[in-house]
Each structure stands twice: as structure tokens, then as C-alpha cells.
Amino acid sequence: MKFGVVTFPGSNCDHDMIDSLRNDLGQEVIELWHKEKDLSAFNTTDCIVLPGGFSYGDYLRCGAIARFSPMMQSVIEFANKGGRVIGVCNGFQVLCEAGLLPGVLLQNRHQQFICKNVYLKSENTSASLTKDVVGRPLMIPVAHGEGRYYADDATLEELFNNNQILFRYCDEFGNIIEPANPNGAIHNIAGICNKARNVFGMMPHPERATSLALGNTDGQLILQSLINNN
């Protein structure tokens, strides 16, 4: 499986993702610059990654400017053809701004930047990103100021009915409870996918939890699930 990792001005987790995929998971990685357009090296069994950070300084709104970069036009076309795309943190925000995923990411409930380990759990047996980790509480770091997922009632109903919820914040025992919600996200939602289940967005950073040197490999389980279910 081949991964393309996009770097926008202000990305600061691109090399974390590249190192995780290349060195911890042994995958082929191609680095992509936001001004490029060419994705001809990738087919629909490959994956394009939009990493975390502060694309374009978040000057307008998180992910709002990055959505119009030349590379994103190609990413949208790639996703619409069935290619897999994953956005982490700021990448999730970009995917929502681009209309590839529904909903928005709002300022955290307490209006403070959060950087800590949290627990999340998946009950989604259909998405390749989660198939191998269903039902297991995973400890994954978060680092965001605007990670509170929100969608209107009709969109939420559709997300649940179509099994598009990837992850929800939980406690260390897997209980999905409000005290385990770090940012006030509606229904504790930490990640979602599109109806076709080829576009994935999540606020926590799995690439920061793929090495024994960091004392946590729970993130490796998530990324490996994506690879295993190619």
C-alpha cells in the first residue's frame, strides 16, 4: 500500500505521519506539496493523508484556505473516484471544509487548547480504518483548539443510520461518557467517515502513538487496520 502525505503551509505533523508510516509500519510514503496537483502515482487502493497542524495559520477558519489549494482539488477528485483519504486533526477540518465529510469542527468547549492522551473506541465493523480495533479502548493523543465536532440533527441521524461514526471518546474502560469527552464534541464523536467509507476524519493523532520509544503503540493498531483491510 502506498501513502501520499500532503504538506500545507503550517502543517506541523506531516513528518510525524511520514515517520510513523514509513519507519514504524514499513509503508511506502510519497511526500506531496500543497501546490502540486499530480496524483497519478496513486491508485484507489492507496491512501492520501492530510496531516495535523495549522494550515495557512488558520487565519480565516481551520482548514478553510487549505481546501482551495491545488493539491486539494486533486484529492477531491481522487476521493470521488473511490481513493482512500484520511485527515487527522487539521486534516479532518480540511475534509469538512472541502465537503468530503459532513459537519464542522468548532472551538473546544472550554475555549482552551487541549494536548493530552485520551481514550477512544470504535463500534464500526464496516470501515477499513476501524475493523481491527472494534470494541477496544485505545489511548491516543489529542492536540487541538478547535476539535469539537458538531452537526445538525438531520446529519447526525444520517451518520448513525449509515454507520459513519468511526470513533467516540470514552474512558479507559470503554465507557462512552461525558466526563471522557475532552472538547465537548456532540455525542462524544472523535471521528467519522463518508457514506462510501473511503474518506476518514479523526481529531486524535494515531501517528503519535506508533512507537515503543514513545510508550504507546495503540495508534499503530488503527493505521495497521487501514493497511490490513486494503
> What would the pLDDT profile of 185-210 be if each residue is shown by its tens digit?
999 999 999 999 999 999 999 999 99
Q: State the catalytic residues.
A: 89, 205, 207
Predicted confidence at residue 58, as pLDDT, reads: 87
Q: Which residue has the cell 463500534?
A: 123
The pTM score is 0.96
Domain 2-228, CATH class in plain words:
alpha beta
Rounded to whole angstroms, the Cα distance separating 219 from 223 reads: 7
Give the domain ranges of the chain.
2-228
Residue 124 has pLDDT above 90, yes or no: yes
Write out pLDDT tens, residues 37-89. 999 999 999 999 999 999 998 888 889 999 999 999 999 999 999 999 999 99
Rounded to whole angstroms, the Cα distance separating 102 from 123 reads: 19
Rounded to whole angstroms, the Cα distance separating 150 from 3 reads: 29
